[in-house]
Structure 1
């Protein structure tokens, strides 16, 4: 078999192994929130927990994804149900307050006390899931104004 066929076959196999765009729901925030979110999302790192950033589907400036299964980041979401309850807790990672909700396969984290709600869904594969928050904290700190400290 000629070499170019081996090379082409190798590229085909490698292409089949890389994940396609990650499906991430796109929120519909007010225009001023969307504008602020776009800056924050552009400032996110290229890796979270050593997982490389990948495309999202549908493509949006309000979403990002990392790794496989994808760690999904969305800016401009609504406040999560249960966050306003008296027993809900805020915990801090690098000065950013987060509300955590355990789900079937990991955790959903949402910023607390900031002008924008940023949601980060971290699958259990990345346990301990909260470690992913450290990688996005700089962008959140720079582009998501503190309103109320985490208590």
Structure 2
């Protein structure tokens, strides 16, 4: 699966590599699949490609007053237009962590599969990434 992720350097690259290497082969019942380029700071699962990116940019619609959904202790920002329309892909971002991570959830995985993925990821995010600001 081809991913578009900016290359990382320094501490962010080291932290992301360690974090990504810790992620499970199966997430929410979906098998991990290869990403290209192979050194991209990303992992993907399932035929539709649920893609996690480490070192993700801040979402353009995120503001200091934006709310987050907290799932098992990890705050995720969901763009309101994507969140409201379950028929579109959803790009969720854990904005309170450094390096920041995002999870692209294809529309076909929204619902039980995505909730399980966010829940499962909490066990990997909290010990590996630095919480710099709690979401509201």
TM range (shorter): 0.7 to 0.9
Deviation at 1:64, TM superposition (A): 0.4
Alignment TM-score, normalising by the size of structure 1: 0.78
Deviation at 1:30, TM superposition (A): 3.6
Alignment TM-score, normalising by the size of structure 2: 0.86
What's the counterpart of residue 65 of structure 1?
44
User: Does 1 or 2 have the higher relative contact order (CA < 8 Å, sep 6+)?
Assistant: 2
What's the counterpart of residue 83 of structure 1?
62
The Cα RMSD (Å) is 1.7
Q: Which runs of 5+ in 1 are unaligned?
A: 1-21
Among 93, 99, 107, which residue is 1:110 paired with?
93
What's the counterpart of residue 8 of structure 1?
none
Structure 1 stretches of 4+ with a deviation exceeding 4 A read none
What's the counterpart of residue 75 of structure 2?
97
Q: Which runs of 5+ in 2 are unaligned?
A: none
Higher deviation after alignment, 135-144 or 26-35: 26-35
Query: Taking structure 1 as reference, are residues 78 and 30 closer, same or farther at Cα in structure 2, changes over 3 Å only?
Result: farther
Of the two, which has the highest radius of gyration?
A: 1
**Is residue 2:26 matched to residue 1:41?**
no
Aligned residues: 129
- Aligned to 2:116, the other structure's residue is in SS state helix
What's the counterpart of residue 131 of structure 1?
116
